[in-house]
A and B are shown apart, each in its own frame.
Chain A
Amino acid sequence: MKFGKDFRNHLEGTLPDWKDKYLAYKALKKLIKTLPPDADHPAPPPPPPAPAAAGFGYGDDVALGNWFARILDVELHKLNDFYMEREEWYVIRLQVLKERIERVKAKKNDAFTSKIEFTEEMLEIRRDFVLIHGEMILLQTYSSLNFAGLVKILKKYDKRTGGLLSLPFTQRARHEPFFTTEPLTRLVRECEANLELLFPVEEEVLESGSSSKLQPHNNVSTHGPGQSCDLETAKVYQSTLAAMKAIEGLKKASSTYNALSLARFFHGEDGEACSGAITSESSLLDSMTDSQVEDADKDDKEVQSKEKTAAETKHNAEAGRRGG
């Protein structure tokens, strides 16, 4: 269960205040385990039952699906609420920070501020901008991971109960506020534009008479990133690292499964009319065998590491092609 682990690790490493605002993935997984399995339809399928029973079969599944969907709705509400609240906060904060830059610029021109004051001010502004940038990106991570988790939960639900909840609910979730992150992305871009100005190569603050200081070093002498300023910055830095791991985990999984399922798909299936169309888009391939591979806990580490390089290259190439 790689995703679950990645998710959990991310939660442990992320901003403490956010931890309980994520999708209750593990709890939902547990809940699904308690649901009645798809006992109506064991594999060898029985002869089509009488309409009455079949009707109730569907009715019942629908009822169960509705119930489960309602639970997910509560989760969605939580996700949306948190997301929008944070988004609002970042809108405000970014505007306030931009205002602050303007004020400092004005002050610099009009009043003669001491260099030290100015330096301090600039440092603080830089720090704040980096901080808000980091947090916004963590919010994006929040969105992405929760959506991925939600899709997985839906898949598990369908698998467990033979329900058909996955697609429609996913389509709906796709348009929920917590996953429509375009405004947030715009904020991030805006932030980065400002940051370009704040982190130029030449800067008054760097004036120390030594030109060597202008060379960026990979290893900052006394401070590493995240240890630089204060607790706040450090927390964001650590959370960013955790988020990187989680997102890379998602990506790696897909690359690996792409490779495996591609092989299975080609060898395991007879030629089929629509398969030709499918294979041109490799992401469609995952779906068939992913669930079995993943849910069967086939975390074959050796295979993964061997496949990883090839798969990632392939994956990147496909991503490039798809993006093209």
Chain B
Amino acid sequence: MERITTNPFYSPGIPVTVPAPLPSIPASLDESFPRHPDVQNVLMERELRRTPLPPHQSTVAPISGQFHPSAGSVGPLCSPQDVRFSSVLIPEQYTSANPYNPQTQSTGSSSALIYGSQHGGFEPTFTDFPRDVEPAWCPDPVESMLGYSDDVSGGNSLNGMSPIAATDELAKQTEWWTDFMNDDWKDIVDNPSGAKSQPQGGPPVQSSTSVHQSATEQIVTTQSVEPCAVAAPSPSASSNTSKTRMRWTPELHERFVDAVNLLGGSEKATPKGVLKLMKADNLTIYHVKSHLQKYRTARYRPELSEGSSERLDASKEELPSIDLKGNFDLTEALRLQLELQKRLHEQLEVQRSLQLRIEEQGKCLQIMIEQQCVPGTDKVRDASTSAEGSKLFSDPPESSTLKDIPNNSQNGTTKQAESGDNE
């Protein structure tokens, strides 16, 4: 199964120490969010104090080289701290991998140009980020508990191949985001047994089975390497494919089953043997091992797989072995349930085709607008949100139409994305 390989976060990471991220949020959400500049300053100071920073003076220069000739105040966050803020962030992005370098040595306006419109897509620009910077986002404490925080030193963190010295940072980020998400999830789901952020890992998640456990293993060992179909070697999964999550297709699975059967069945077969027999590229023993585990579960203990051991007892009670009418009723009930499911499936197909169509139309509109020239786009800009619209007017005059068009197309296509929301 081919998969279009556009996943930046599956590309290999580059070990980079991560200093403070951009705006972080106080651990306690009880603080009402103050006005932004203050928040920015306060939080950044807090972050910066916590984190060892590279001497920011020295990093200002690279920024200028990257973004703009004159270092100075940085946009809306005009304060001394902000210089640090950009100096902190940007070297991480661009020191190790310079996505912007090939594109521009010139002004920041060109950066935006690239940002918005490069090949109508985003991939080159963002390819490097995940591997560079520790994400300041651990919204799922369960997940962190299960896997991410387990093996930080092994570099198996969220994006990392790197045994980063940012372990502390990760912990802090996790802590910050955990708190943030804790509050959030309390609101969202009032679920005492919630497989959520509450007691780390929640029993339901824990108890959910070898399936989830093997998923956990996958999470722990998963690196940000691009997964790919076995049959087609992935073009850019240059690195460590052993830690990817494999996308198992029915065909691949069939080869797996054949190999297993050749080896005498799922109990007898070993991952190593199966791997050898399958002769599949990009398939590692980790993949096979976890898949084999799932396979065994499915064959012999399917009741455990769905996370509910109650099923076993319940089904014994519920299945009326003698009562034929009961069977009929059960069958009918199942049939009705099936009908409902089919209906939902239809709705989903419609929804999906709409979503896809809108994405396509977004591209078309972008092209249309590019062909329109500047005057014609004024009306279009008016129609977009004021923030987006007014942004255009701030373009430096030198950039002229070349800049305007991609920006306009961004607006146009942003609108397309918007329309997709409501589908």
Any chain B CB within 8 A of the CB of A206? yes
With contact pairs A16-B194, A123-B331, A290-B419 given, residues A63 and B116 touching in the complex (Cβ less than 8 Å) = no
Chain B, residues 198-234, CB within 8 Å of chain A (1/0): the string is 0000001100100110010011001010010000000
Most buried by A among B37, B39, B126, B420: B420
Say yes or no: A20 contacts B330, CB within 8 Å.
Answer: no
Q: Are A91 and B250 neighbours in the complex by a CB distance under 8 Å? A: yes
Taken together as a complex, chains A and B put the C-alpha atoms of A75 and B181 apart, in Å, by 13
Cβ of A35 within 8 Å of any chain B Cβ, yes or no, is yes
Tell me the complex Cα distance, A26–B182, Å: 12
A126-B334, A172-B126, A288-B415 as given contacts; A147 in contact with B355, CB under 8 Å:
yes
Find A34's partner among B23, B331, B365 (CB 8 Å cutoff). B23
Q: Which residues of B contact A133 (CB under 8 A)?
A: 338, 341
**A95:B257 contact, CB within 8 angstroms:** yes
Q: Which residues of A contact B398 (CB under 8 A)?
A: 51
Residues of A within 8 A of B58 (CB): none
Q: Tell whether, in the assembled complex, residue B356 and residue A228 are in contact, meaning their CB atoms are under 8 Å apart.
A: no
Q: Which of B47-55, B278-286, B383-391 contacts A (4 or more CB under 8 A)?
A: B383-391
Closest 10 CB pairs of A and B: A168-B122, A228-B333, A60-B75, A45-B393, A287-B415, A55-B108, A287-B419, A286-B419, A55-B68, A59-B67
Set A84, A158, A164: member contacting B115, Cβ < 8 A: A164
A116:B321 contact, CB within 8 angstroms: yes
Knowing A51-B398, A287-B416, say if A250 contacts B215 (CB, 8 Å). Answer: no
Task: Tell whether A322 is near chain B: CB-to-CB under 8 Å.
Answer: yes
Question: Across the interface, do A229 and B318 meet the contact criterion of CB distance under 8 Å?
Answer: yes
Task: Please measure, in the bound complex, the distance between the C-alpha atom of A148 and the C-alpha atom of B379, giving whole angstroms.
Answer: 27
**Are A177 and B3 within 8 A (Cβ)?**
yes
Query: Closest Cβ of chain B: how far from A314's Cβ, in Å?
Result: 14
Q: Is B369 an interface residue (CB 8 A)?
A: yes
Interface assignment of A12: CB less than 8 Å from any CB of chain B: yes
- Size bin of chain B's contact surface: 35 or more
User: Is B149 on the interface with A (CB-CB < 8 A)?
Assistant: no
- Bound Cα distance A39, B135 (Å): 25
Q: When chains A and B are docked, how far (Å) is the Cα of A253 from the Cα of B423?
A: 7
Q: How far is the CA of A323 from the CA of B384 in the complex (A)?
A: 27
**CB closest chain-A residue, reference B317:** A230
Interface range for A: 35 or more
- The answer to whether B215 and A167 touch across the interface, beta carbons within 8 angstroms, is no
| B420 lies within 8 A of A151 (CB) | yes
**A263 in the interface, Cβ–Cβ < 8 Å?**
no
Q: Which of A56, A84, A166, A207 is in CB contact (< 8 Å) with B227?
A: A84
Contact A48 B112 (CB under 8 A): no
Stretch at the interface among B138-146, B161-169, B267-275: B138-146
Segment 102-151 of A: residues with Cβ below 8 Å from B: 116, 119-120, 123-124, 126-128, 130-131, 133-134, 137, 140-141, 144, 147-148, 151
* Contact status A226-B333, CB under 8 Å: yes
Contact (Cβ within 8 A) B423 A250: yes
Min CB gap A246→B, angstroms: 10
Contact of A199 among B33, B218, B338 (CB under 8 A): B338
Binary interface profile of A, 196-228, with partner B (CB < 8 Å = 1, else 0)? Answer: 000100010111100001001100111111111
**B155 interface residue, CB < 8 Å from A?**
no
Which chain B positions have C-beta within 8 A of A152?
421
Q: Does B191 contact A (CB under 8 A)?
A: yes
Tell me whether B241 is interfacial, beta carbon within 8 Å: no
